[in-house]
Copies of this chain bind each other. A is one copy, B any other.
Amino acid sequence: MDTETKKVKSDIEIANDAYIKPITEIAAELDISDNEIELYGKYKAKLSLDILNRLDQSEDGKLILVTAINPTKAGEGKTTVTVGLADAFTALGEKAMIAMREPSLGPVMGIKGGAAGGGYSQVLPMTEINLHFNGDIHAITAANNTLAALIDNHLHQGNHLCIDPRKIVWKRVVDINDRALRNVVVGLGGPMQGIPREDGFDITVASEIMAVVCLAQDLDDMKERLSRMVVAWTYNDEPVTVQDLGVEGALALLLKDAIKPNIVQTIAHTPALIHGGPFANIAHGCNSAIATRTALKLADYVVTEAGFGADLGAEKFLNIKSRMAGLKPDAVVIVATIRALKMHGGVDKNELGTEDIGALKKGIENLKKHGETISSFGLPFVIALNRFVTDTHLELEVFKGLMEQENIPYALTEVWEKGGAGGTALAESIKQIIDEKENHYAPLYELTHSIEDKITIIAKKVYGAEGVDFTPQARKKLEKFKEQGWDSLPVCMAKTQYSLSDNPNALGRPSGFTITIRDLKPSIGAGFIVALTGDIMTMPGLPKHPAALNMDVTEDGKAIGLF
């Protein structure tokens, strides 16, 4: 294949042309027995939860978290670096594995067109991973909406729990970007058609059930978490849980397979566990704890990813997921691009082709802040500068100079174009910091801190805020949650991903700002309190020209238009 052809290939073309091994071969190389794997076609499978029991006494591999600067419209390529880095470890002869999130169909059909890495750093089979995969998200949709139907049916059949129809907080979901469902009225049409009330739909990955599946330790823990979910409040303002409705068994039954991690492979045949994909604002934005723990038992280097930038994804990975799942991360990668840094320095998206050293220097402040955050968790990190053809020689030199001047470890990556070979410098650098640097990982706050204190610690240490304001509504919730004994839970911040602050337009490294907590929401099944800043969208919309318009399938079942 000559380079010219290679350069113009789309992601789906690269994926369709790649050689893919039967997943049974990949599993056999990991000493996974026939009883521990359930095939879903030839190239994907689910793994049994029994693997964790069998390998309970084995030592864990090294855990590397990939995070990023605050995302911009220029794109950073965090997933691509995650995949490429794991392939780089494989190229270096290490036993590596990926643990990452599964794509939601909504964004695939909307703007994204796919979310399985890119170029020569992709997971395969790309089409199936981007579409229904092994049915996890559909199972969560079904469980979420079964619960919703049972709640409205409870109202309709006499409402002996005295649920206030105005205070039902459990929403229905679809795994589609569907803005027309954000605010709806249901139960219209007369007494046989339910009780009329205001309602709304979220996208499935924003369902608390997704967070529950991703944080559960096993099937029983998942059932207990489901039973604790608060779905409504009574006329007397007492919480109504799934347990009160008596349907945690049915929900757990619907999710008994969704809780099992999915195994696939990269183009370089590195095994990848792709499992769970909770939102990174109103949820914690990481793949399942079970997948990460399973990968750590099966490989020496596990590369995992968290959503959005380090202020949201890494913060939650380190304060929520790692604490709940008993994980001890070994190193962190912060992904940036020259283009995105320039945007953080004030350059317009259409001007990114133009060299701009001033903007670059200014934008690097955003990156440095995220580095400081990772250090405050007691963890070593490496910057991955993901190269683009438009990066100029001078821009790269300035970037390197600044990193070296501040003694910040970094590596350039070219994983989109070169796969694992484009990430070996990064992999070497990570091995080095794991060997040489000290690791005193600890969450930033204790669970015994009050909710206000937890939020304030995150706002000051992670965002660089001067303080936190709570609206009267948020203050009321603080009181109420304390009464319910919920104040010992960790906090899940719902904040714009675009800025360190709660103002999406404040790029770079804003200072002198405060964070306003507008409202608080209990996710008792997931096991955290969501703190809402600004307007957080839990149901995206479709763009003027949705990706779906470009999609097709050939007569022999090959996908067209995914990317």
Chain A positions within 8 Å of B, measured between CB atoms, are 38-42, 46, 105, 109, 127-128, 131-132, 135, 138-139, 141-142, 145-146, 148-150, 152-153, 156-158, 172, 174-189, 192-195, 218-220, 223, 246-247, 249-250, 252-254, 256-257, 541-542, 544, 546, 548-549, 551-553, 555, 557, 559-561
Contacts and interface: CB of A to CB of B under 8 A. Distances in A.
Contacts of A560: 249, 253
Sort A-B residue pairs by CB-CB distance and give the 3 closest, nearest first.
A249-B552, A180-B194, A138-B138
B552 A252 contact: yes
A40 B176 CA distance: 25
A326 to B, nearest CB: 20
A553 B219 contact: yes
27 contacts: A38-B40, A38-B41, A132-B142, A138-B142, A148-B176, A148-B178, A149-B174, A149-B177, A150-B548, A152-B178, A157-B544, A172-B181, A179-B192, A179-B194, A218-B555, A219-B555, A220-B555, A249-B561, A250-B548, A250-B549, A250-B552, A252-B552, A253-B553, A253-B559, A253-B560, A256-B557, A256-B559
A466 to B, nearest CB: 31
B149 A176 contact: yes
A44 to B, nearest CB: 10
Given A41-B46, A249-B560, A253-B551, 20 more contacts: A105-B142, A105-B146, A109-B250, A132-B135, A138-B138, A145-B174, A145-B178, A148-B178, A149-B181, A150-B548, A153-B541, A157-B544, A179-B187, A179-B194, A182-B189, A183-B193, A184-B184, A219-B553, A249-B552, A253-B553
Q: Please state the number of chain copies in the assembly.
A: 2
Nearest to A50: B556
B149 A542 contact: yes
A112 to B, nearest CB: 14
A152 B180 contact: yes
A170 to B, nearest CB: 12
Most interface-central of A109, A253, A254 (chain B CB within 10 A): A253
A145 B192 CA distance: 25
Contacts of A194: 179-180, 182, 541
A182 B195 CA distance: 11
A546 B152 contact: no
Given A132-B139, A546-B150, A548-B250, A180 B195 contact: yes
A542 B150 contact: yes
A41 B39 CA distance: 5
Contact of A156 (B132, B150, B157, B180): B180
Contacts of A145: 174, 176, 178
Most interface-central of A141, A553, A557 (chain B CB within 10 A): A553
A192 B146 CA distance: 29
A254 B127 CA distance: 10
A399 to B, nearest CB: 38
Nearest to A151: B180
Nearest to A255: B553
Contacts of A254: 131-132
A41 B45 CA distance: 8
Contacts of A195: 180
A546 B153 contact: yes
Given A253-B559, A553-B256, A146 B183 contact: no
Nearest to A41: B38
Contact of A109 (B146, B179, B181): B146
